[in-house]
Amino acid sequence: MTLVAFDFDGTLSDSEMTVLLGEQCDAAEQMAAITERAMNDEIAYAESLRQRCALLEKLPVSAAEAAFDQVVLRPGAADVLAALDEAGVHTAILTGGFERGVRAALETEGVDVDDLVANRLPVADGALTGGVEGPLIEGTKDRALEDLAAAADVPLSETVAVGDGANDLPMLEVAGLAIGFEPKPAVEPACDVVVKSMADLQAVLVDEGVF
């Protein structure tokens, strides 16, 4: 296995970016409810993301930056990413979340990935517009994983996908090894292995000969 693709919110991080953003404008509970419906496959992910981002209209950029600065990797995630990097394994983050928050969390821990596929929040006049842009709104993670594998010259059969929610299903279904990180009930049947911690994940990757 020479390419490992991670989801971010709920997997590498236990932060939920849209909820952190929502806390800046008293919309966190609405955000969390929409997110839960999406992760349980009760509402289309693209629609859920648009609904959540619409709640952020007119949020000042300074408040958005404050939210992104609160995004952190879950315990042990940096160790897994560092070990994969040291072993020469190609790593990627495929997230419907936002590039700025992912970058903040990675920089805090001093780690990085080879590829980051994420969305963005457009800005006008110093505030969020309430819209969202990026490849993982209508686009799906299976296509993103296929594109990354092709660019890295890695067969899909040699890829690993790690995720937890319904929008991770496409990449879990096409990867050579599908690992669920405390997956939602609708997601678990698509997983080859289920883990509950980064230590468990690292052990699985070692057992599978990834590094």
Residues taking part in catalysis: 7, 9
Q: What is the DSSP string of 124-193?
A: ETTEE-S--BSTTSSS-HHHHHHHHHHHTT--GGGEEEEE-SGGGHHHHHHSSEEEEES--TTTGGG-SE
Q: Is the distance from CB of 17 to CB of 67 less than 8 angstroms?
A: yes
Which neighbouring-strand residues pair with 120?
Answer: 133
SS3 65: helix
